[in-house]
Structure 1
Amino acid sequence: MTDSVTNKIILSADSTCDLDQELKERYHVHYFPLHIILDGKDYKDGIDITPEEIYQKYYDEKILPKTAAVNVAEYIEHFKPWVDEGYEVIHINLGSSLSSAHQNCCIAAEELGHVHAIDSCSLSTGTGLLVTDAGRMIEQGMKAEDIAEALRERTKHCHASFILDTLTFLHAGGRCSTVAALGANVLKLKPCIEVSTEDGSMNVGKKYRGTLDKVLVKYVKDKLAAYPDIDPSLIFITHSGIAPEYIELVKNTLEETMHFDEIHITKASCTISSHCGPNTLGILFETC
């Protein structure tokens, strides 16, 4: 993997940006994994634990992991070799309303200098959209300070939402009440979780009813119809582990509804998957 030598900028991101390998290599993205604490052991997200292992642990023992942010010392260790070599570093964090990673990254950046910490105000490939934006800006030869300013402005244009097939994992993690979980599961309600473009907080949007295949088609059409100025260059289909036929259904619905230059299918990191559970799927895109 080579880096941008002409203007000496390193592009880095929390592992929760959920890019696929092709985009990660295209834009020379350096990942930093968040921590997954499961049954007393500390794992690195996406390196030595998978979402499937997390789900199986819950099914077998009703144990869910805790997630932990990268601490200040870890960020300093991550950035310092590049700073010492004269690079500017752009690092894009999981939204600050969801994790203390950005706050820790800012402290490390202030101590080292030459590190530009960006609060994505999003999660998963909502963050990944900003990472690809940064990659293109680096290719265009923009200065790091200008890229950081542009990215902070672009957060309000990155739209992230997901359909949850079950509230079991949100409930088990303490993120929704027993009554809400029971009611949604019994009534076959599948809520749309929307990420605020203002601060990255998660809110419950429309509640869909019916089988997952019908809900996913309706959700995709609703989201595409909601914005008249969608950027057609890139859209993500991101999931936490779901049958291929559902992914293909969503992809076909996208293609029938609107043209996109690139449709990337990516799998959510352990941090994201452990909170939303299996069979979660979302489309994530930018507006102009």
Structure 2
Amino acid sequence: MKKIAVVTDSNSGITQEEAQKMGIYVLPMPFTIDGNEYFEGINLTQEEFYEKLKGDADIATSQPSPHSILELWEKLLAEYDEIVHIPMSSGLSGSCQTAAALAADYEDRVFVVNNHRISVTQRRSVETALELVEAGKDGREIREYLEQTGMDASIYITVATLKYLKKGGRLTPAVAAIGTMLRLKPVLTIQGEKLDSCAKARTMHQAKQIMMDHIREDIETRFGGVEAHKVQLDIAHTHNEEEAMKFREEVEKEFPGYQVGFVDPLSLSVSCHIGDGALALAITKMEE
């Protein structure tokens, strides 16, 4: 049986400490804040990030450098036979394409997975990869499985403010002004390739109900009425843990028999575009 290392990035929400316990490796995502470079989970905490965000700092996201990726791979290949590398969705960052290009020089040893996920759904992919390693699958088989099932997940997000969507160019100033005046709360979705708008709500209560309605539609229609034990529900948030824990209770009441697994902070790469106070509800279909 081959010895396989599982690598992901900090967009999965997996901290460096959690990675050690899980036996995996996490590449920290880099940020440029007011001209200085920071690395998520290394010299940039969630609290520090939101403090800078609220202070209207100039924040730009980046991707792990080729050097940092190759350095980690070389170190791991001295100990492991193969590497399964699970970056964030190729539709949300160029990091997947960069890793795939670098892996061309490591044929049959490094397998880069493009399974179209981020945050808690990306974390679920990492868990599945570990299960497949335990089951004796090799790197190629694990990549094929994760890519085949990559779209079997959704994240629905409601934001507390339109400020950052406007700042990032995802809303025109006029639309943002109208939305702010009417106190509209957009509900966004990530289903693979990008962050899209899917609904608008007037209150946070209504926004949460819309997210749960979409999850129900996924269960009943998109996933063919799948049973409770065959899906994972997770919650994510941006600097909003108290409300996220309350939302967990609401979700479990709305879906009797279903349990919410993780209540994690959303990746900072998403957070910088939507601001703090956001809530997200995710669903991941689990295969047999």
TM-score, normalised relative to structure 2: 0.88
Residues 157-177 of structure 1, C-alpha deviation per residue, up to 9 Å, x if partnerless? 021221112121122223321
Is the 8 Å Cα contact of residues 220 and 250 (structure 1) preserved in structure 2? no
Distance 1:21 1:68, change over 3 A: closer
1:285 partner amino acid:
I
Q: 2: CA distance between counterparts of 1:83 and 1:243?
A: 38
Q: 2: CA distance between counterparts of 1:161 and 1:270?
A: 16
Q: 1: CA distance between counterparts of 2:15 and 2:187?
A: 23
What are the residue-to-residue correspondences of 1:57-136 with 2, within 5 Å?
57-60=52-55, 62-113=56-107, 114-136=109-131
Aligned-pair distance for 1:148? 0.7
Counterpart position of 1:176: 171
Distance 1:30 1:100, change over 3 A: same
Q: 2: CA distance between counterparts of 1:81 and 1:69?
A: 20
What are the residue-to-residue correspondences of 1:241-252 with 2, within 5 Å?
241-244=239-242, 246-252=243-249
What are the residue-to-residue correspondences of 1:130-209 with 2, within 5 Å?
130-197=125-192, 200-209=193-202
Residues 181-234 of structure 1, C-alpha deviation per residue, up to 9 Å, x if partnerless? 22222212111111133xx12211011112x24422442243224422356353
Is the 8 Å Cα contact of residues 45 and 271 (structure 1) preserved in structure 2? no
Distance 1:64 1:180, change over 3 A: farther
Q: 2: CA distance between counterparts of 1:115 and 1:21?
A: 21
Counterpart position of 1:272: 270
Q: Which stretches in structure 2 are left out of the alignment for 5+ residues?
A: none
Counterpart position of 1:219: 211
Is the 8 Å Cα contact of residues 9 and 90 (structure 1) preserved in structure 2? yes
Is the 8 Å Cα contact of residues 237 and 284 (structure 1) preserved in structure 2? yes
Distance 1:46 1:185, change over 3 A: farther
2:269 partner amino acid:
T
Distance 1:254 1:20, change over 3 A: farther
Number of aligned residue pairs: 278
SS in 2 for 1:175: coil
Q: Which stretches in structure 1 are left out of the alignment for 5+ residues?
A: 1-5
Q: 2: CA distance between counterparts of 1:243 and 1:131?
A: 23
Is the 8 Å Cα contact of residues 187 and 207 (structure 2) preserved in structure 1? no
Q: 1: CA distance between counterparts of 2:246 and 2:214?
A: 15
Give the percent of matched residue pairs that are identical in Structure 1 and Structure 2. Answer: 21
Q: 2: CA distance between counterparts of 1:51 and 1:187?
A: 30
Aligned-pair distance for 1:27? 3.8
Is the 8 Å Cα contact of residues 23 and 132 (structure 1) preserved in structure 2? no
Distance 1:170 1:178, change over 3 A: same
Distance 1:123 1:148, change over 3 A: same
SS in 2 for 1:227: helix
Q: Which moved more, 1:143-152 or 1:175-184?
A: 175-184
Q: Which moved more, 1:273-282 or 1:14-23?
A: 14-23
2:154 partner amino acid:
H
Aligned-pair distance for 1:262? 5.3
